[in-house]
Amino acid sequence: MFLGFSVGVLFLGALISGLCYRINSPKFHGSLAFLTSAVALYFLNLTFFEFLKTGEFGWHLPLFRWIRDFINLELIFKANGLNLFFALFGAYVSVGINLYAIKYMTHEKEGFGRFYAFIQLFIGSYLGLTLSENLFWSYVFFELTGLCSYQLIAFWYQSDLSSFSAKKAFLMTHIAGYGFLLGALVFNFSPDPKAYQHLILAGVLVAVLAKSVQWPLYTWIPYAMNAPTPVSALLHAACLVKCGVYLLFKFYLLLGGFPEFWKNLLIYLGMFSSLMGVLFALKQADVKKLLAYHTVSQIGYMVSGIGLGTSLGLASSLFHTLNHAFFKGLLFLVAGILQQATHTRDLSLMGGIASKLPKTTVLYLIGAASISGIPGFNGFVSKWMFYQAAIEANHPLAAALGLFISTLTTLSFIKVLDTAFLGKIDEKNKQLSEKPFYLMVTGGIILAIPCVVFGLFPQIAITFLINPALSLLNLQGVNISFYQLPTVLIGALFILFLGLGLLIYFTWLKPKEIIKETEVFKGGEDETVFNPTADDFVADIENRLATFYKKADPDQYLLKICNFIEGLILKVYSSIKKLEQIWSKPC
Amino acid sequence: MLKALAPFLTIIYIAITFLCGVFYLRDFNKKLMILLCLVVLTFSNLFLLWGETSYGLFFDGISVIALLTLFWVLGYKEAFKILGVIEISYLVLLILGKTVFAHTPEGIVLLVIAFFLKLAVFPLFLWLPIVVKIIDAITAGFLICIFEIVDFVLLWRTVEKASWFPQFFENLREVSLYIGFLTLLLGAVLALCEKNLKKLLAYATIDDTGYLLIGLSLFSPVSLYGTIILWINHLIAKLGLFFIAYRIEKNTSVISLGKVKGLAKDYPGLAFSFLVFALTLIGIPILPGFWGKLFLYQEVFKISKGLFGLMILGGCLTLVYFIRAYHSLFLGEKGPETVKTPLPKLDLILVMLLSFTIVLGCLIIAF
């Protein structure tokens, strides 16, 4: 019953927000969304505890009784390891982001009812997708998430750019979504779905490529950044882009694994997307676009991990899915604070704001360290698992590529750190204060906590969230342990030494002024001369990789295909036009 | 199935006539004459809807005369001529099919051609966009809706009759299926290139008729359920879209995509209605159009994966032209002085049509 409630409460919230659209209060709608997402998380937690006690169980709502002799369209939600894994992190992230959005949206003048109605509808649909057992309902929820994304990207509908971005995102994801419908139809109406597994997987893969922003169908996501930041964080970092990953797991379960060809395809498609994503991220000066390209890159690890097909490979994919939701959500929230504080998304126009926004800087550092795979943070664990799984599965190239991409990721976030947070503060940012952003920072803290906790104690996530999912997929549970040491001990040692360091600093070094604050020293250069902006980095990278960037953008090729089709259609149209003229002349 | 639907279709027919009648009586002269035409048209068409009798042909004739008179009274002389040619051809085919060739496969073929002509099915569709372009959007919506109700019922009955000749019935179904696909694809392709909103909606109607024809050709319980849902959904949504087109046309004097833009800022209600009607016609979950299309997809998929692919292609084209129209008209920066006089706020009729679409979706799911 709680399964149904967890989705129902969000749909109810969406309905209330939609019907009360005339109440133009960000606090009313924001609080409602926060409340409904918190209640949904609470119900899901209850479900999870029941699942741990009793094992799998389901809830069903008899719908479409009039046609049940011909097609089964009952709504069935199932609590199992895989479904609850995806649902739980989605619900958790949405609570943090909704809290953040309460403050963020006060900058807007109107459209709160519309915004929060679609936000709640989106979360409800995402939970519906992850919990649904009936593939047709999965498709319905899958498309509803896309519809909400479309409407939320078009939030500033009076801008041509937002309108274009929304249109592009919707067309690409919905058209590709028919692949999922094909997969669902073949699976349901073939006497032996295994015999048609190539057709099913081809259909599903097309849907996954567009929804989970993989090469070559990722090109809508940079445009989708022209939306309010909570949308970017919740939809285009945490949940929406995970729908495709969930589908891959779902069909892995339904088909009992993938054939060798598909496994190899997923491994190298994932890694290739990841490489493309990070290379495009490197040349971005717009902080949200940079994060968008990193989404492409990070999801590549997940897709590749599924392709490995081993327990550890799938575990790495699941763990990275979980981690990515937290660290990417967090980084987007930080980007939103930066944007509201400095009124720009351009990194070159920021600089030195670490001194003005220290808590935000700490949040950024946690997010950046996690995504870069720095030991002690969650991204390190899942990436490490991926490298190990790739080597064990005899795909060392994938492991090497993963490591290389991770290095480029670190480079990209050093660029952000150097240009936005460190260096000389801009004159117009000197009056900045973090106080107005405390609620937004709190939302960020909710997402930062798991980045650290799962980095230090990964066994919590592995035991309670990942191993149940693996067991459902008929795979052996994994046990991660670095350097043969129990992870709990590593975590305890980390906290002990960190605490010790802080204690020494505050009780001895600082009071006695043993450590003195000095100007930033950069290789002997005068600071005014050596104060690079994001544009400097970008120009340097663009110069070195000019040919690559010119040829590698898939949009140009997609556009050529579209133009070709348009040409054919126009030929038909002009012929019919001539016929029409002949027809209408005698009259 | 058709008999059970008759009361429901009657209500829809009367509601459509009433809604359009209100506009006629408000915006046009010669009110009494228009009223008389509408009453006669409604009476004769309802008679045709309720069942087949020996007076069927007579009421068909009355219906044709009433419709042509209405066009004449409204002052659409050019449309009157084109429609006159269509209606006379229709009557000739009907008379031949029901008298000289009655109860023979040849007679059924003539009747099917007659109904295809009125429903603007490939290759007999050219008249519809021409007529729709030169008449006002309300009359266009009314014309399309009454043709879709009455002539589709008559076509359905004719297909049922064809089952008396099993071999012929199979051939008819097969031919209709392919014609349905051609209609669907051609309608969608033409709508995609069209810039005039009214013509776009006319082509969209041809596209939708293709789906109805496919559903009818498959003639399985699921496909017929799907057809009925799409049929009713199409009537309501298309009428709603024509009402919106009328509003825009009346107040901006232009109806071309690209010339009017950014209307959502001033008229969010119209934008929302347009979006809902467009989404249901595209077949976006969870709106009724999706369920209708899902049932058809299922049945088409069972007979041929290639045809299923073509149907998906048609669905994609539908998506593109409706979304393009929506963005072009309503979103983006508002053009300077695109709206000459204030548009009336979202009125009761659109609310009613919207509510009906949503209630229909709920009814389909809940029962």
Average pLDDT value over all residues in chain B: 90
pLDDT digits (tens, 9 = 90+) for A162-176: 999 999 999 999 999
Write phi, then psi, for A216 (nearest 5 degrees): -100, 15
**pLDDT value of position B334:** 82
pLDDT digits (tens, 9 = 90+) for A226-272: 999 999 988 878 899 999 999 999 999 999 999 999 999 999 999 99
CA distance, residue B77 to nearest chain A CA (Å):
10
Q: Which residues in chain B touch residue A65, judged by CB atoms under 8 angstroms apart?
A: 367
Q: Which residues in chain B touch residue A139, judged by CB atoms under 8 angstroms apart?
A: 285
B225 to chain A, any CB pair closer than 8 A? The answer is yes
State whether B319 and A171 contact (CB < 8 Å). yes
CA distance, residue A378 to nearest chain B CA (Å):
37
- Closest residue of chain B to A74, computed from CA coordinates: B365
**pLDDT value of position A307:** 96
Cα angle: B252, vertex B257, B259; to 5 degrees: 50
The end-to-end CA distance of chain A, in Å, is 66
Across the strands, what pairs with A61?
A75
**pLDDT value of position A585:** 66
pLDDT above 90 for B343: no
Q: Which residues in chain A touch residue B301, judged by CB atoms under 8 angstroms apart?
A: 185-186, 189
What integer is the mean pLDDT of A459-480? Answer: 90
Write phi, then psi, for A395 (nearest 5 degrees): -130, 65
Name the maximum alpha-carbon separation found in chain A. Answer: 102
What integer is the mean pLDDT of B338-356? Answer: 71
B319 to chain A, any CB pair closer than 8 A? The answer is yes
State whether B295 and A67 contact (CB < 8 Å). yes
Which token pair is B251? 């107040």
Q: Which residue has the tokens 């980045």?
A: A451
pLDDT above 90 for B348: no
Handedness of CA B41, B46, B49, B50 (dihedral sign): negative
State whether B365 and A63 contact (CB < 8 Å). yes
Q: Which residues in chain B touch residue A580, judged by CB atoms under 8 angstroms apart?
A: 126, 129-130
What integer is the mean pLDDT of A382-400? Answer: 95
Q: How far apart are alpha carbons B168 and B159 in whole angstroms?
A: 10
B130 to chain A, any CB pair closer than 8 A? The answer is yes
Average pLDDT value over all residues in chain A: 91
**pLDDT value of position A526:** 56
CA distance, residue A574 to nearest chain B CA (Å):
9
**pLDDT value of position A236:** 78
Of A424 and A302, the one with more pLDDT: A302
pLDDT above 70 for A338: yes
> SS3 of A60, please?
strand
> Where are the domains positioned within chain A?
2-479, 481-513, 553-584
* Distances, alpha carbon B64 to alpha carbons A174, A192, A587, B136, B161, in Å: 42, 54, 19, 19, 24
pLDDT above 70 for A586: no
Which token pair is A24? 């133009």
Of A515 and B357, the one with more pLDDT: B357
CA distance, residue B163 to nearest chain A CA (Å):
23
* Distances, alpha carbon B191 to alpha carbons A175, A547, B105, B199, in Å: 18, 39, 34, 8
* Distances, alpha carbon A381 to alpha carbons A316, A454, A461, in Å: 8, 8, 11
Rounded to 10°, the helix B305-330/B288-303 angle is: 150
A157 to chain B, any CB pair closer than 8 A? The answer is yes
pTM exceeds 0.90: yes
Cα B44 to chain centroid distance, Å, stands at: 19
pLDDT above 90 for A83: yes
State whether A182 and B312 contact (CB < 8 Å). yes
Handedness of CA A424, A430, A435, A437 (dihedral sign): negative
pLDDT above 60 for B352: yes
A175 to chain B, any CB pair closer than 8 A? The answer is yes
Of B338 and A404, the one with more pLDDT: A404
pLDDT above 80 for A330: yes
